[in-house]
Each structure stands twice: as structure tokens, then as C-alpha cells.
Structure 1
Amino acid sequence: MDKLSFLGVIIGFAALIGGNFLEGGSWGSLMNGSAALIVVGGTLGAAMLQTPIASLKHAFNVLSWVFAPPHFHYDAGIKKIVHWADAARREGILGLENVAEREKNPFAQKGLLLLVDGSEPEEIRRVMENDLLQKEQWDLQAVQFYESMGGYAPTIGIIGAVIGLIHVMKNLNDPAQLGPGIAIAFVATIYGVAFANLLLLPIANKLKQCVGHESRFKELIIDGLIAIAEGENPKLIQIKLSGYLTP
């Protein structure tokens, strides 16, 4: 569980609400059902219009990564690859067949099977990098859904404000209604900007980081498998892959 994400959401909205109170506003001044409906519904509808249904389902599936991101243990990955290299040196490449059958990571398992089948290093790299790229693009399509919502929300908020001002203009003969009416109209703008900058765009950026971590871990696996295919010394492989460890 990523506590920092929870803390970020709490601090962001606490600053918004707290600043409103310090300026003399009330909780009720920020509450407007019609403005929320226009901004949330309009933003969601616009983003759904441009998104294929498969990508939309995937976008909802990866949303949990914001608060429970997948973890990739680079040090454990390096140790595992070095173990594979030791096994290959002692028993030959065919000795990795049992290792491949027990491997739980589908990406690593595919690479090990290609290695055992006697594929050339460049062929292994080509196949594995193609898989990496396809998965990365698939995940980034999900990220794009939240990025697009972050782009639409402020504009939809302005539309909501204009709609509110239209209703205000109908009450020009009643000056007492103008001030509160204008204030309510601009609540839609606040919703749009806050929705985009406190939730949607940060969510998109967090998901991009998760996608990047996964791709980097897969690059580690590819480099390790290629080194094994080329018969490199396990100790040298460990030194080479240590560059993936963050300082």
C-alpha cells in the first residue's frame, strides 16, 4: 500500500478546503450538485468517447496501482539471473528447462524457454523486446484515459460556469441574487481545475511511473538472458546488471 499517495490526496484537498475557510468561505460554498454533475459526467463522457472499450476496462483495472503499485525487486531479480547463469554453466543451457517450468514470471519464463530451445541471442532479444513494447503500449493506453480526463476537466468546468452565468443573467432584475449566483457558477470551474490537477493528472503520472518500473525490470531480465545465451561469466553478469539498482 502506497501511503504517500493517500497522503498526497489528503493534503491536496485539505489545502483547497482549508484555504477556502481561511478566506471566510464555508463548506456549503464549495458544494454544488449540478456543477459536480456537469464536470464529472462531462469529463468522463468525453474521455470514454475517445477510448476503445478494451482500453477503458484496462484503465479501470490499473487504477488500483495508484495506491497499491506493483513492486519489482531488482536485487532479487539479479540474484535469480545469476543463479540461472550458474546453472547454465554447470549443466548447460538445457539444464534451465526445469527452471523455466518452475518460473512464475510469464515474461521470464518465455525468455528461458527461448534460451532452452537454442534460439540465437539476437532472436531472443527481438522477441522479448517486442513483448515488452506491446505490453508497455497497452498500459500507456490506460494512462492516456486519465491524461485525457485531466485535459478535458478544466474546459468542462468553464462550460459549467458559463451555464451557471446564463441562469444568473436571467435574474438581473434581482440584484440580491447576483452575487450568490455568480459564486455558485464559478464552483464548476473550481471543480474542473481541482479534479484535473489534484486527481486526474497525478493519477496519470503515477501510472506512468508504474509502467516505467515494469519495463525497466523486463529490460533487466532481457539483458540477463542475453548474457547467459552468450555464455558470460555469472560474476560478470552480476556486475553488469548491478547498474539497474537505484542508488
Structure 2
Amino acid sequence: MTKKDILTPIGITLGFLMIIFAIGSNGNPSNISIFLDVPSIFIVIGGLVASLLITFKFEQIKLTRGVVKESFIKTENRLPELVELFTRLSERARREGILALENELEDVDDPFIKKGIMLAVDGIEPEVITDILNAEITAMEERHYKGRSIIEKAGEYAPAWGMIGTLVGLVLMLNQLSDPATLGPAMAIALITTLYGTVLANLVFLPMASKLETKTEEEVFLKQIIIEGIIGVQSGQNPRILEEKLSAFVSYSDREKYKEAMQKEEEAIRSGMVEDRVNEA
């Protein structure tokens, strides 16, 4: 289950507001117009796109939109649900046998869990299951890295293109040394491209890449816990022991929140059953 991560847009917006505040801090709003230069924008954005086209294949570049979108999505904490799921699977496997778990998979949406359980049902050795699922994790990390590397490279290229724009501006400025009155404004415009490139890199691209890397690490951690659960179910581990083992990965506050949610859900179900009986009577 996912929902929008409001921290990313809030952080970007706050960063730009701080820059605008710094520009207008002397009480002169006209200063903001000084920092808007169309040629500088074209140099930084155009040069950045050109570098990315040279660096990456077109198939990778097409993924950029999805990668950027991922940094604005928050993944819900699934650990308590996983503990409950594998405890239930373990209880059924001990009661009815490992083959009975095939029916349980109809309610499972995660393909990684489905694959692991099916391997367990097919009687594959635990070591082989672990190797297969770890290979899946490695492939996932590689896919995420390829997508994230576009954002990381954009963070590297943006300041460089800002500097290139500044150098171009300086050359043009030095060509007008005969008119000292133009040196100050020309120098200001020359430096604006460096500002654009630095802001894009340190406020947008690099923080976004770091967030994506953190999300990948969290997903890898989650999948490692899933492997522990699958092996525990296959080996016929006591459900209570397996529950305690997996619960060690869940924070105490998350456990309490999940228990409260489950209790409310059970109460809602019971109240619904009571209402149905009253209606039938």
C-alpha cells in the first residue's frame, strides 16, 4: 500500500522559498527579477539533458518519469502485516501440511512472497530457496540502481553546466572591458548559471537520489525478512516462535499500532455480525 510522500514537495518548496527570502531580504522585491535569466536557464537545462542523452540509453531515459514519481510516493510499513501473515501460514502448514498453503496465496498480492511459498510447497531445499530469492533481490537492486543513477548523474552534471554558463558569461564580459559600466551587471548574470546548477543539484537531484537509495535499502530489508518467514514456515517452525522471531524486526510502537488496528477490525466484524443476526430475527 502506497500514498503520497508530502515531505519531498515540502522540502523542495521550502528550499526555494528560503532562496527567494534571501534574495528579497534587503526589502527590494525587484532583486528577484535580477536572478531570472532565460539564457542561463537554457544553458543549464539544455546542457544537462544533452549530457544525460550521451550517458544513458533511450530505454533508461524513458524510465526517468517513473523514477522521479517514486520519490514522491511513501511506502507503508508492512512489517506487522508480514508477521501476522507468516504466523497464519505457519499455523496452517503445521495443521494441514505445506501443500495447503497454495489456497492461502489467493489473498497474497506480493509476487515475491508468492514465489517463495510456491518454492516451499514444491519441496525445494531451504538453501536453494534462499539463493533464488536472494538472486531476485540482487536483480531488484540493480534495476533500482539503473533508475536512480539517472538522477545521481543529473546531480553531478547540473553544477558543471552552471560553471560552463558562467565561463561563457565571463568571456562575453571580458570582451566588453571598454565599457566599465557593464562589468557589474554582466558579472552578476555570468554567476547566475552556477547558482541554477548548484540549486538543482543540491535541492532537487541529489536529495531525490538519496531518498530513492534509502527506499531500496528498506525494500531489501523487507525482502530479507520475508525470506526468514518463508524458511520458517517450510521448516515447520512453531508459529509462536516464528512470530517472536519476526517481531524482533518490528518496533514496539508499530506492534502496538497494528494490534490496536486489528482489535478495531475484529470489533467492527463482530458488531456487523450482531447487526446481521438482529436483522434476521
TM normalised by structure 2 equals 0.84
C-alpha displacement of 1:64: 1.1
User: 1:90-105 maps to which residues of 2 (within 5 A)?
Assistant: 90-105=95-110
Match of 1:8 in 2: 11
CA distance in 1, matches of 2:92, 2:65: 41
CA distance in 1, matches of 2:223, 2:62: 24
CA distance in 2, matches of 1:46, 1:246: 44
C-alpha displacement of 1:178: 1.1
Higher relative CO (Cα under 8 Å, sequence separation at least 6) belongs to: 1
Q: Counterpart of 2:20 in structure 1: which amino acid?
A: I
C-alpha displacement of 1:72: 4.0
Q: Counterpart of 2:230 in structure 1: which amino acid?
A: L
C-alpha displacement of 1:167: 1.3
Match of 1:210 in 2: 215
Structure 1 regions of 5+ residues with no counterpart? Answer: none
User: 1:105-120 maps to which residues of 2 (within 5 A)?
Assistant: 105-120=110-125
CA distance in 1, matches of 2:62, 2:96: 45
CA contact (8 A) 1:143 1:204 kept: yes
* 1:181-212 deviation line (CA, Å, top 9, x unaligned): 11011000000111100000001011111112
Find out whether 1:20 has 2:18 as its counterpart. Answer: no
C-alpha displacement of 1:55: 2.6
Aligned to 2:24, the other structure's residue is in SS state helix
Match of 1:173 among 154, 171, 178: 178
TM normalised by structure 1 equals 0.95
Aligned to 1:69, the other structure's residue is in SS state strand
Structure 2 regions of 5+ residues with no counterpart? Answer: 253-281
Match of 1:161 among 151, 163, 166: 166
Match of 2:145 among 108, 129, 140: 140
CA distance in 2, matches of 1:107, 1:82: 17
User: Bigger shift: 149-158 or 53-62?
Assistant: 53-62
CA distance in 1, matches of 2:64, 2:227: 27
Match of 2:60 in 1: 55
RMSD between aligned residues: 1.5
Find out whether 1:33 has 2:38 as its counterpart. Answer: yes
C-alpha displacement of 1:60: 2.2
Aligned length: 247
Percent of pairs identical after alignment?
A: 32
CA distance in 2, matches of 1:59, 1:128: 27
CA distance in 1, matches of 2:76, 2:50: 32
CA contact (8 A) 1:66 1:203 kept: yes
CA distance in 1, matches of 2:66, 2:236: 40
